[in-house]
Structure 1
């Protein structure tokens, strides 16, 4: 379990460092398309690097979906999620330390790639839009993960399929919520940014976890014997 927790912490660190780091440090240069690819490529790297150790969930929603689909013992969920949260927080801290080395960086103004919605946040989408997007996107993401990692699927392609799916989700939804589909990814930046980022955090727990739960039950019911 220590090896699995270490893999989950390091893999989630990679996801948040590459994804949120690209938004904070290079967002103006690479734009939303570049940020989307950074998140997708980070998943590819972590999946191939640590998938054989822990399954490379890197996401409490994925862990919940895996438990409900019968892919992971329920007793493993808490250690996995704890490691994921730790990895995300450490990554956000490292991004903050790097960004603070630029003279005109301001945490209050530039942020850390935190998720959000509503007035003053990117496309200023409503709460209902944010909830719907995060629920549907997480449902799709977890369904793809469960399918790509099933015994019948070609194992060598799983990491690529999952990474490209996350990139596609970002291409659709960055302007809506910044794209969470991952409570750990949301927690890391929010802890340091505070304020509205912390106040909005419940959305990025409730909707992704609900979407993942439905996906776990649905996959097991529809395709569990495939």
Structure 2
């Protein structure tokens, strides 16, 4: 039986909640211990887990850039694109505020001390990456990630393993991206923590979040163009 729209959107909200809560939570609470590789694996493993939980309900996009790429590849309707986007942003926001609650309940010095795994550039980047660099990095990383999604889900031979492929690719792009921008490649994952940080009194991430909405969507569009060119070559 085909899942209803409410089931699909609910699954996307839940999956985005899990990705944001565990991925950003690992960066905020245990980033110093885990390091870049540990944070990367937290995000990647979140995708793998959710693929097996909600993959058969919504496809487990849990990322507006992924949904946009699939829409451009004509695998998602305009109606579902809007529904998925709304659900994903809601999931990311709820996760960020839940994470903030957990942090203020601990003896960690509060959210302003730990952060919420926000993305950023210039002073908010570990290596001081500038605005143009952040745009380029996010476009490239998102393009590679969305290409992995498009490719692994298009072929019946690789589709059963798509969740693992996509999760490992997300971890792969995080390994390079974490020191640069914190790695977004996902507007919903970026907006939720940025909003929660602004509520706590630090609006830096919220003032920069447009980069982490625009660049991932541009990267997804580029991925769809490249994937379409590959399909033409195959024909």
Q: Give the TM-score, by structure 1 length.
A: 0.96
Match of 1:211 among 189, 204, 219: 219
The alpha-carbon deviation at position 221 of structure 1 amounts to: 3.3
Identify if the C-alpha distance between structure 1 residues 28 and 153 changes in structure 2 by more than 3 Å, giving closer, same or farther.
Answer: same
Unaligned ranges ≥5, structure 1? none
Q: Secondary structure in 1 aligned to 2:117? A: coil
CA-CA distance at 1:152 after TM superposition = 3.5
Residues 147, 153 of structure 1: 8 Å contact kept: no
User: Which residue is equivalent to 1:4?
Assistant: 8
* Total equivalences in the alignment: 226
Partner of 2:182: 178
Q: Does 1:103 align with 2:107?
A: yes
1:168 and 2:172 correspond: yes
Q: Is the contact between residue 177 and residue 183 of structure 2 (CA under 8 Å) also seen in structure 1? A: yes
Query: Contact 2:29–2:114 (CA<8 Å) still a contact in 1?
Result: no
Q: CA RMSD in A?
A: 1.4
* 2:37–2:175 Cα contact (<8 Å) kept: yes
Shift, 1:119, TM fit:
1.9
Q: Gaps (5+ residues) in structure 2?
A: none
Output aligned runs, 1:39-50, within 5 Å: 39-50=43-54
What's the counterpart of residue 130 of structure 2? 126
Deviations 1:12-59 (A, max 9, x none): 011011100111121122111111100000010111111111111101
